[in-house]
Amino acid sequence: MDEIWRGPVEDSYESHEVVGSHVQFSGAVWDVRSDDVLIGAHAVTRDLVVHPGAVGVIALDEQDRVLLIRQYRHPVGGYLFEPPAGLLDTHKETAWDCARRELAEEAGLRADTWHVLIDFLNSPGGTSETFRCFLARGVEHLPEGREHTGEAEEAHLPQAWVPLDEAVGLVLSGRIQNPTATNGILAAATARSRGWSDLRPADAPWPVRQWVESLGNVRTPPA
């Protein structure tokens, strides 16, 4: 069989037929579902985490320092340094609106210049999570500061402003491993080296998000 790809090197979206589906678990944030799928001559069962999707914010100050916050993550039993981020768990917000809210709630900041930095699929072999990471520049502190409205993991979020080049080193050495941080930091450093010429508007279309939603694979909150 010829296994040399001769088409364009870019992701494409064309779902195989799902002939059966069963929700195995319905949780507070995501569901676990088993789908029976026809792939060529094969009938297989694939489990997936049905996720609401999320956004993150790489905030850079005038000195090209990136904001990282230290937050506990229970599944890995550790405190991770990561950018402000949050779930797309309300119908009332666009991705950009959600990013602005998270920057205010988790860091007490606002920004006057916003772009889409990078889109990625966090673990497409097992979850439907779509993730959009924004670049926020021209940041300033909100007059009222950060509202301490979170609980548990979000009650205390210490901040660190790290020079972007130093942050790249932290990623490459394995000292920072949160995917929003690793993807966002490396994307920001690359975009800067290219004169920010590849940045998309903050309200740029998000086709993969629309596609995954059309498949019924986005966990939707109550209307």
The catalytic residues are 154
Pairing of strands 54-59, 130-141: parallel
Looking up tokens 């694939």 gives: 46
Report the sign of the C-alpha dihedral through residues 53, 91, 74, 172, in that order: positive
Q: Over the Cα atoms of the chain, what is R_g? A: 19
Dihedral through CA 136, CA 138, CA 143, CA 146, nearest 10? Answer: 30
Print the SS3 string covering 104-156: HHHHCEEEEEEEEEEEEECCCCCECCEEEEEEEEEEEECCCCCCCCCCHHHCC
